[in-house]
Structure 1
Amino acid sequence: MSWVPIIVLAAAVFLVAAFLLKVNRSGWTLLGATLLFGLTGYALQGSPGQPAAPGIAAERQQVDGELLISARREYFDTSQLPSRWITTGDAFARRGDFAQAAGFYRNATQENAGDLEAWLALGIALVEHGDGQLTPAALYAFEKAQEIDEENAGPRYFLGLSWLRMGEAGRALELWREALRAAPEDAEWRESLALRVMQLEAMSGQGTPQPDAAD
C-alpha cells in the first residue's frame, strides 16, 4: 500500500488537533507519540510488501526513547520528579538500552510497590526490549500500574499502543475508551485522549464514536 495517504492523514490529524481544536502545547508530544505508534502499527499490519524476516520487522518497530519518556510524563505531575531509580532508568531508555532501563524501573517497584509511574515505565521498557511484543511480564506491569490508580489513563493508553503495534486495533480502541470513561473531568490529558480515540475510530473504520469517547 502507498505510504503517502497515511502520512498525509497523520499530518492532517495533527494540524486539526493542534490548531483548529486548540489542543494545548503540553499535549502535542502525546499526540505526536500516538501518530507515530499508529503509523507503526498500521504499517506493520497492513503492508502487503512487508518482508517476512523477523529481524526486519523488529527494526521497523524501534521507537525513540525520549519520545516514550515525554509521552509517559504527560500522565503525571511534571512539577514532581520521579524516583531516582526511574530517573536513572530513563537515562538508559533515552539511549535505547531498554534492558538496563527495565532493571532500574524494577528496582523502583521493589522500593515502592505503589509507584504507578515505576510500573508503567517498566511495562513500556519491557515491550521495547521485546521488540514491540507484549510479553507476560510487560502485561503484568501494566496491570499493576492500573490497579494503583484506575483514573490514570497511562496504563491503558500504553497497553493499547502495544496492542496497536501488534495489529490489534480493536483491543487498543477498547482500552482507550475505558481510559476515557475513567478519566477525571479536569484531567489535563483528557481532551487529547478523546481526540486519539476519535482518530483511532476513524482509522479502524469503526464508525461513529461512542458518546463516552466524544465527551
Structure 2
Amino acid sequence: MGLVWLLALGLGAMALMVALRLGRPLWTFVGAALMLGATGYALQGSPNLPASPVRTALRAPVEDPGLTDLRDRMLGRYTLDAAYLTAADAMMRAGDPRSAVRALLGGINRIPRSIALWTALGTAYSIHDGAVSPPARFAFEQAMRLAPRHPAPPFFLGLAHVRADDFAAARPLWARAVALSPERASYRQDLAVRLALLDQLLAEQAAAG
C-alpha cells in the first residue's frame, strides 16, 4: 500500500504541475523532491506504513541547496547579514546546528533588525531541537514582527512544522506566505507548488480517515 501512495503522489504532482503551467525549472525541483522521497522510503520505510512516503517527499534535507536558493531569492543575497548566513549554512551542512545557532545569534547582536537572521535562527533552533521549540517560535515571531508583510518568516515557520510532521499547522502559514508573495516574484510558484502538495497530502490523510 505504501508504494501505491508513493506512485499516487508522483502522478498527482505531475498533474498539478501541468494544471498550473509551471516552468521547466520547477519540474526539476519537484522531481528531485519526489526522487528524494522515494529513495528515503526504499532505504528506511516500510510498505505497511501508508503515509510515510508522502511525508518524506515533502521534507528536504537540512543542507538542501534548493532551500538556500529559495531563501536568498526571498530575502536577498548581497546584504549586510550575508556573511552570518553563509557561516550558518556551512555549519548546517557539517551537521552542527548548535554552532549555526551561535553564529546567527552573533549576527543578530550586530544587526538586531535583520529579518533574514531571525528567520534563519528560527530554522536553526527548530533543527537543533527537533521541533518548533519556544526559542524557534520566538525567533520566527520576531521576524514576523519586524516584517509582518514579508512571506519568508511564515514560509520557513511552516517548513519547520512540516519537518516536525505537523502538516496541519504548516498549512495556514504556507497559505499566508503565498498570499504575501508579489505576483511577479521569482519564488511565488515555488511556494505555490509546496502549498499544493501539502493540500494534496492533507486531503489524502482526511480521506484515509
TM over 0.5: yes
Alignment of 1:14-93 (within 5 A): 17=17, 21-23=21-23, 25=25, 29=29, 47=49, 63-67=61-65, 68-78=67-77, 80=79, 82-93=81-92
Distance 1:70 1:126 in 2: 20
Among the aligned pairs, what percent are the same residue?
26
Distance 2:32 2:203 in 1: 21
Distance 1:109 1:175 in 2: 24
**2:6 paired residue number:** 6
**1:205 paired residue number:** 203
Aligned-pair CA distance for 1:5: 2.8
Aligned-pair CA distance for 1:36: 8.7
Deviates more, 1:10-19 or 1:111-120: 10-19
Distance 2:70 2:19 in 1: 20
Distance 1:3 1:34, change over 3 A: same
**Contact persistence 2:115–2:146 (CA under 8 A):** yes
**Contact persistence 1:114–1:148 (CA under 8 A):** yes
Distance 2:172 2:37 in 1: 15
Distance 1:63 1:180 in 2: 22
Give the unaligned 5+ runs of structure 1: 51-60, 207-215
Alpha-carbon RMSD across the aligned residues, in angstroms, is 3.7
Aligned-pair CA distance for 1:170: 1.8
**Contact persistence 2:151–2:177 (CA under 8 A):** yes
Distance 1:63 1:177, change over 3 A: same
Aligned-pair CA distance for 1:174: 0.9
List per-residue Cα deviations over 1:10-47 (Å, max 9, x = no partner). Answer: 47626863897233637965x5797699999xx8xx94
Deviates more, 1:9-18 or 1:66-75: 9-18
Distance 1:96 1:195, change over 3 A: same
**Which one has more relative contact order, counting CA pairs under 8 Å at least 6 apart?**
1
Give the unaligned 5+ runs of structure 2: 53-58, 205-209
Alignment of 1:102-117 (within 5 A): 102-117=101-116
Alignment of 1:149-168 (within 5 A): 149-168=147-166
- The TM-score with structure 2 as length reference comes to 0.72
DSSP-derived class of the 2:74 partner:
coil
Aligned-pair CA distance for 1:160: 1.0
Deviates more, 1:2-11 or 1:189-198: 2-11
List per-residue Cα deviations over 1:102-155 (Å, max 9, x = no partner). Answer: 100111111111111111111111111113x11100111111112222332221
**1:54 paired residue number:** none
Aligned-pair CA distance for 1:167: 2.9
Which AA in structure 2 matches 1:6?
A: L
Which AA in structure 2 matches 1:129?
A: H
Distance 1:161 1:47 in 2: 23
**1:187 paired residue number:** 185
**Contact persistence 1:151–1:184 (CA under 8 A):** no
**Contact persistence 2:63–2:93 (CA under 8 A):** yes
Distance 1:19 1:48 in 2: 26
Aligned-pair CA distance for 1:63: 2.5
Distance 2:168 2:80 in 1: 34
